[in-house]
Amino acid sequence: MNESIVLKWVANADMDLPQYNWVSTRSHFQQFGIDKDKLLNLIQRHRLEQRFLRRFQQQHPKWCNKTLLTGILAQCVQAAASTQRQIDAIQEISRQVTQSSPSFTLIKGVSTYALTSDAIHIHRSVDLDIFAAEPGYLWEVMEDLGYRGQKTLDCQHEYAILSRGDITFEIHRFLPIAAYPPNLLNCSFLPS
């Protein structure tokens, strides 16, 4: 058993990990081929903290010791706090955008959690990507709220990057798609 096997388990791969007795010390972890610090880093890098907790709650694996679980819980608390700050920022901007003005659409980031309220979708997001029908208007609204940044003149799809504190937004004109997968060439995009 190693870190990559644990990551597959976390990602809900159809597999059962060996049920070891409680792993109480770091040396026991290493005995099973798991570097706890490396595993914590990988779980955070791949934003799998909530998925780990969900899988842990379902199976209560004995190989998961208190130290690892405490590290995962700390990551979850940080991710939840960051997500809440981002949602608060989105709501603040939304209140400033009037009904008669062009709207914006949040993509990626916290959008799945915001739509479902399912904690499994809480994960760290470095920035928030939004589409804006009128990116210049959104820029002005955000500047009035204290966001600072720069317009990205060299990039056609990305209009600007703005930050305030630890919250960063990228305003997009559109999402570029360089190519479609070959198997879509013969697809009808009309709903059946």
Residue 126's contacts (CB-CB under 8 Å, 6 or more residues apart) are 168
pLDDT of residue 62: 76
Q: How far apart are the first and last CA of the chain?
A: 45
Q: Using CA atoms, how far apart are residues 99 and 110, in angstroms rounded to an integer? A: 23
Residue 9 pLDDT class (50, 70, 90 cuts)? confident
Q: Using CA atoms, how far apart are residues 163 and 149, in angstroms rounded to an integer? A: 6
Q: Could you tell me the residue ranges of all domains in the chain? A: 3-64, 85-172
pLDDT of residue 103: 78
pLDDT of residue 25: 52
Q: What would the CATH number be for the domain defined by 85-172?
A: 3.30.460.40
Mean pLDDT (the chain, rounded): 82
Q: Per residue in 13-47, pLDDT tens?
A: 776 666 555 455 555 566 667 788 899 999 999 88
Q: Per residue in 63-120, pLDDT tens?
A: 788 888 999 999 999 999 999 999 999 989 988 887 666 678 888 778 888 888 888 8
